[in-house]
Structure 1
Amino acid sequence: MTERAPLSRKISAIAESATLKVDAKAKALKAEGRPVISYAAGEPDFATPPFIVDAAAEALKDPANFRYTAGAGLPALREAIAEKTLRDSGLEVSPSQVIVTNGGKQSVYQAFQAVVNPGDEVLLPAPYWTTYPEAIQLADGKPVEVFAGSEQDYKVTVEQLEAARTERTTALVFVSPSNPTGSVYTEEETRAIGEWALAHGIWVISDEIYQNLTYDGARAVSIVEAVPELAGQTILVNGVAKTYAMTGWRVGWMVGPADAIRIATNLQSHLTSNVNNVAQRAAIAALTGPQDEVGRMRDAFDRRRRLIIDELSKIPGISAPTPQGAFYAYPDVTGLLGREWAGRRVETSLELADLILDEAEVAVVPGEAFGPSGFLRLSYALADDQLLEGVRRLQQLFGG
């Protein structure tokens, strides 16, 4: 009997999402009755605001939403996204420059598919969201990590980017506020990077999913607002997931030059076609309705941000920079490595995360998921009492 042909080498090489893996393990342990507290998932713990849910319920009464619609998205939603892009990113675009996707993750995938050719290099500032390198490689590109540590507030410089640039460099990933670090580039830093990319004809994939979650008076200035001339070589990625507590609704979008959006729309026509119409109607309500709930959720994240940084900073061996955006703390834990804890020698942040889960029943994501070892990511998008209890377990384990 002839042996079966092999599976796809490209797809087989994809790494499992580390954040989802840790979160799944935490949920499995909870299901077994263990009192696990998880900081793993990048997901607001709030319910989607009621007026958004009501819009979805109303949409269920209209049979038109039970049919195929335009693959690039409902016209009313594309118009609302164009208005939001002007309001928050300072870029005026036509709705024809917008494509609605199944969550921001699909936009990330399609953005790289649209601008990367085989062998192209994509500069990837690290720490980075775990999906970026996989999406780059799925486009037959090569991710080139450019690391910035806690001493730089996890923000890369133009000098670092220039040192990593080669004749094969075709794109740069720019994320502010950052997942996993919560760092926010200043307007001056953003402008410098944008002008550098413009000067070298480099595409910018700018993930703005956390742009409305900033603190301490910080503002996430869009790279196309800082350098308007860059709009012709920039794709903006965004969605309703984080700002409106709508992670499960799966509505994201990409905004960019007409030619890039056209080929991405062609790809999506074969990949998924239109996004769920009821979810699109809910997204229209989110973007055009009252923003009071957004402010309340942001205030809660701000309170939790200050709490988790204050408490983590009490642990000897941990350095926890204060994030200015998103809902993540990204402490440097190199001071805990190379030591023995609870009878176990710990050399990497991966081993440290395993130890923390086993001994303190707390789930965190190790730095290896986002770049170099020596760090942990903790989402503070969980209830205040759980957040405090989890950090106190860490203090007890490490002597804080």
Structure 2
Amino acid sequence: MEDEGVAEKRWNFKPNGVLAHAAKLPIKGTMQAIMRNLDGGDTRSTIALCQGDPPVSPCFRTTPIAVDAVVSALRSSEYNGYAPIAGILPARRAIAEYLSRDLPYKLSPDDVFLTVGCTQAINMAVSVIAHPGANILLPRPGYPYYEARAAFSGVEVRHFNLIPERNWEVDLDAVESLADENTAAMVLINPGNPCGNVFTYQHLAKVAETAKKLGILIIADEVYGHLTFGSNPFVPMGVFGSIVPVLTLGSISKRWLVPGWRCGWVVTNDPNGILKETKIVDGIKDYLVISSDPATFVQGAIPQILGSTREDFFNKTIDILRQTADICLERIKEIDCITYPCKPEGSMSFMVELDVSHLADILDDVDFCCKLAKEESVVILPGSSVGFKNWLRITFATEPSSLEEGLRRLKSFCQRLAKK
């Protein structure tokens, strides 16, 4: 036992405080906080309408072609070693060919850099532009992981609004007013997460011209690419690569319904070579030297996954998303305190507005979601976590019967709390 007079040992290490702040921003952190309110005594199943993880539902299963491709790659024993830092060449070539189908120019394998899902693609894109004093323009509402990564990298965040009544178009006047000589990039998520919108060709052209005027690059998050079911087709931002340099982020996670396989990419859409001239490409390569890479056997499966998947698989996924989005719209119409500005046309979630003035004992959207979880075992993401207070993000990539039940409980909850 130590003498009473001996001072307690002081250790020199402590956690990085930036991590604690950054960890509160992503959706996972918010969901964990809300799910702590679940009542363990409720015998009903918990219905999660808060996260885009479609394979949890039996109706969303990847194509056997993708499974066979991974099994074949694994059994071949050709992919048990380390991969080149940018990814194996056949995979990069297949991604270049896949993305070039929608572009007015051809991508090279040298334009493609493989990542551990789209999360690492975000890490890379933000890290590469994180010079001292830099700021980045992010959409609001948006995907909060960008804020978390920017905080960790010391990049100042400035938000521009997406306009609900204009189908969530970018407020381009706000973009221009926010930018200065330290602005490095703006983020554009299309199809939209969390809004479910799909930008038109005409609007994307205006975004490109605005970015060119400001001298900034565009980080185009297209992880939900081609998952559209409305009047607007998916147009990749890379179409405008000759106007403004674009870093396209994507993965097989959503379109192939395999988020757990963790294989994504960063692609330089830059036919004018601006990203090479400004050393951004060198920065990407430097980042890859000090980071991890996707499992090599998944990389080995990419050519078959991208080249052999049939359209009927994609069409089935789209049909289910169209059906579940319609279910959301019909059920939301039955709830007086919740409205939506426009129909979702893509991705797997959309935003609805909550009028708390119609409800008794509800302070705001966070309070609403916590009490909904406790009383109805339904988990919905509060809009505050994506930048829009007193809105809600509802994910519709779930089993139709489960979605119906979750929305029925939501309606019952709202009716029970409605002011008399």
Per the alignment, residue 246 of structure 2 pairs with 234
Per the alignment, residue 288 of structure 1 pairs with 307
CA distance in structure 2 between the aligned counterparts of 1:283 and 1:121, rounded to whole angstroms: 35
CA distance in structure 1 between the aligned counterparts of 2:159 and 2:394, rounded to whole angstroms: 22
Larger Rg computed on CA atoms? 2
Per the alignment, residue 394 of structure 1 pairs with 410
Aligned to 2:326, which of 303, 306, 312?
Answer: 306
CA distance in structure 1 between the aligned counterparts of 2:403 and 2:20, rounded to whole angstroms: 36
CA distance in structure 2 between the aligned counterparts of 1:89 and 1:364, rounded to whole angstroms: 37
* Residues 137-192 of structure 1, C-alpha deviations (whole Å, 9 max, x = no match): 22221110112342233322221211222232221011111111111111111101
Per the alignment, residue 10 of structure 1 pairs with 18
For 1:390, the aligned partner's letter is G
Aligned to 1:265, which of 267, 273, 285?
Answer: 285
Q: Give the deviation of 1:277 after TM superposition.
A: 1.2
CA distance in structure 2 between the aligned counterparts of 1:265 and 1:37, rounded to whole angstroms: 42
CA distance in structure 2 between the aligned counterparts of 1:313 and 1:89, rounded to whole angstroms: 39
CA distance in structure 1 between the aligned counterparts of 2:104 and 2:371, rounded to whole angstroms: 46
For 1:203, the aligned partner's letter is L
Whether 1:54 and 2:73 are equivalent positions in the alignment is no
CA distance in structure 2 between the aligned counterparts of 1:26 and 1:10, rounded to whole angstroms: 24
What is the root-mean-square deviation of aligned Cα atoms in Å? 2.2
CA distance in structure 2 between the aligned counterparts of 1:227 and 1:64, rounded to whole angstroms: 36
Instruction: Report the more deviating stretch, 52-61 or 214-223.
Output: 214-223
Per the alignment, residue 358 of structure 1 pairs with 374
Whether 1:203 and 2:217 are equivalent positions in the alignment is yes
Whether 1:63 and 2:77 are equivalent positions in the alignment is yes
Aligned to 2:202, which of 167, 173, 188?
Answer: 188
For 1:315, the aligned partner's letter is I
For normalisation by structure 2, the TM-score amounts to 0.88
Task: Pick closer, same or farther for the CA change 1:236–1:69 going to 2, 3 Å.
Answer: same
Provide structure 2 residue ranges, at least 5 long, that are not aligned to the other structure: 1-8, 269-274
CA distance in structure 2 between the aligned counterparts of 1:88 and 1:264, rounded to whole angstroms: 24
CA distance in structure 2 between the aligned counterparts of 1:21 and 1:123, rounded to whole angstroms: 23
* Residues 348-389 of structure 1, C-alpha deviations (whole Å, 9 max, x = no match): 111111111112211001111100311111111110100011
* Residues 52-76 of structure 1, C-alpha deviations (whole Å, 9 max, x = no match): 1111111122222111121211111
For 1:305, the aligned partner's letter is A
For 2:201, the aligned partner's letter is E
Whether 1:223 and 2:237 are equivalent positions in the alignment is yes
Within 5 Å, which residues of 2 pair with 1:62-81? 62-81=76-95
Instruction: Report the more deviating stretch, 299-308 or 239-248.
Output: 299-308
Instruction: Report the more deviating stretch, 132-141 or 10-19.
Output: 10-19
Q: Give the deviation of 1:223 after TM superposition.
A: 2.4
Within 5 Å, which residues of 2 pair with 1:157-172? 157-172=171-186
Task: Pick closer, same or farther for the CA change 1:28–1:375 going to 2, 3 Å.
Answer: closer
* Residues 23-49 of structure 1, C-alpha deviations (whole Å, 9 max, x = no match): 556599599864211111112232221
Question: Would the aligned equivalents of 2:25 and 2:147 in 1 still touch at CA under 8 Å?
Answer: no
SS at match of 1:60: helix
Aligned to 2:46, which of 32, 36, 61?
Answer: 36
Identity %: 23
Per the alignment, residue 296 of structure 2 pairs with 277
Question: Would the aligned equivalents of 1:122 and 1:144 in 2 still touch at CA under 8 Å?
Answer: yes
Provide structure 1 residue ranges, at least 5 long, that are not aligned to the other structure: none
Question: Would the aligned equivalents of 2:186 and 2:217 in 1 still touch at CA under 8 Å?
Answer: yes
Instruction: Report the more deviating stretch, 251-260 or 235-244.
Output: 251-260
Per the alignment, residue 348 of structure 1 pairs with 364
Question: Would the aligned equivalents of 1:171 and 1:205 in 2 still touch at CA under 8 Å?
Answer: yes
SS at match of 1:365: strand
Question: Would the aligned equivalents of 2:37 and 2:371 in 1 still touch at CA under 8 Å?
Answer: no
For normalisation by structure 1, the TM-score amounts to 0.92
Aligned to 1:385, which of 390, 398, 401?
Answer: 401
Task: Pick closer, same or farther for the CA change 1:17–1:142 going to 2, 3 Å.
Answer: closer
Task: Pick closer, same or farther for the CA change 1:383–1:276 going to 2, 3 Å.
Answer: same
Question: Would the aligned equivalents of 1:22 and 1:40 in 2 still touch at CA under 8 Å?
Answer: no
Within 5 Å, which residues of 2 pair with 1:41-190? 41-45=51-55, 46-190=60-204
Task: Pick closer, same or farther for the CA change 1:144–1:397 going to 2, 3 Å.
Answer: same
Task: Pick closer, same or farther for the CA change 1:172–1:44 going to 2, 3 Å.
Answer: same
Q: Report the number of matched residues.
A: 392
SS at match of 1:228: coil
CA distance in structure 2 between the aligned counterparts of 1:312 and 1:188, rounded to whole angstroms: 30
Question: Would the aligned equivalents of 1:360 and 1:397 in 2 still touch at CA under 8 Å?
Answer: yes
